[in-house]
Amino acid sequence: MSSLLGVLVTARDEASMLPGALASVAAWAEEVVVVVDPRSADRTPEIARAAGARVLEHRFESSAAQCNWGLAQCTSSWVLVLDADERVTPSLRAEISTCLPTATEDAFSVARHNFAFGRRLCWGDWAGDRIVRLLRRGRASFTLRAVHGAVEAASIGRLHGALEHHTLRSLAQYLPKLEDYARRGAADLAAAGCMATPGRAFAHAGWRLLRGIVLRLGCLDGWPGMAVAALAAWGAWLKWMLAWEAATTGQRRP
């Protein structure tokens, strides 16, 4: 007989953050599955096993593909998909435990509190974040995109509890992640047939900066809020420029 609730974590080189994620679901989730990219070079697999998780290896192609593969390995009726830099709050744990036994939906969205440089952001693009992470196994899945695949489900409910997301801890940690997102985002633009130009790259970057700092009041979060807007602008510029560069390079080939 399958358990009611499982947790799926996908990870690579997350030895520093994985313990916090697993601790936030310890003695609560009936099943914990950690899918590790075999190219992981730190102690991520050992840490997961020591916490009692079932550890599986699968080569990372995209976040959505990795999550879909992991979902297929789970046995629980419901699966909460968690990143290593996320933590399940007590209020979300209690809400999930209460609602699942009688739930009729195929998935649920949850609130997500984003942190930058150790501070929770209340304004800007990262405030008011919601994400679909609680899925009924076999009835919901992720669309295959290079970056941030959306969840496909017939009915999606809404939970009030939140995840904590410690995504931006330092520039040294975040910049490689941002550049990886930009490369994958450029692949998504190409797949969608978008026409990338340097002009569009600067326009998108300018818009992200204006929206993040002024229109969504990211400046009220102080320098961390403005840093997030600046990094988002850089990421947008890089994504569109990489897409343009790839397209023009392809056109020049004989």
Query: So what's the pLDDT on residue 1?
Result: 42
Q: 76-80, 106-110, 143-147: which has the minimum mean pLDDT?
A: 143-147
What is the average per-residue pLDDT within 40-63?
A: 96
Q: What's the rounded Cα separation, in Å, for the pair 22 and 32?
A: 8
The pLDDT score that the predictor gives to residue 46 is 97
Q: pTM of this prediction?
A: 0.91
Predicted confidence at residue 3, as pLDDT, reads 87
Q: Predicted confidence band at 233 (pLDDT cuts at 50, 70, 90)?
A: very high
First to last CA, the chain: 59
Give the pairing type, strands 107-116 and 119-120: antiparallel
CATH number given to 5-168: 3.90.550.10
Q: Residue range 116-124: average pLDDT? A: 98
Q: How confident is the model at residue 146 (pLDDT cuts 50, 70, 90)?
A: low
Q: What is the pLDDT of residue 251?
A: 54
Mean pLDDT of 189-206: 95
Calculate the average pLDDT of the chain.
Answer: 94
Please say if the pLDDT value at position 149 is more than 90: no
Which backbone phi and psi does 245 adopt, to 5 degrees?
Answer: -60, -45
Q: What pLDDT shows up at residue 254?
A: 44
As a whole number of angstroms, the distance between CA 192 and CA 213 comes to: 29
Share of the chain above pLDDT 90, in %: 91
Amino acid at 177: K
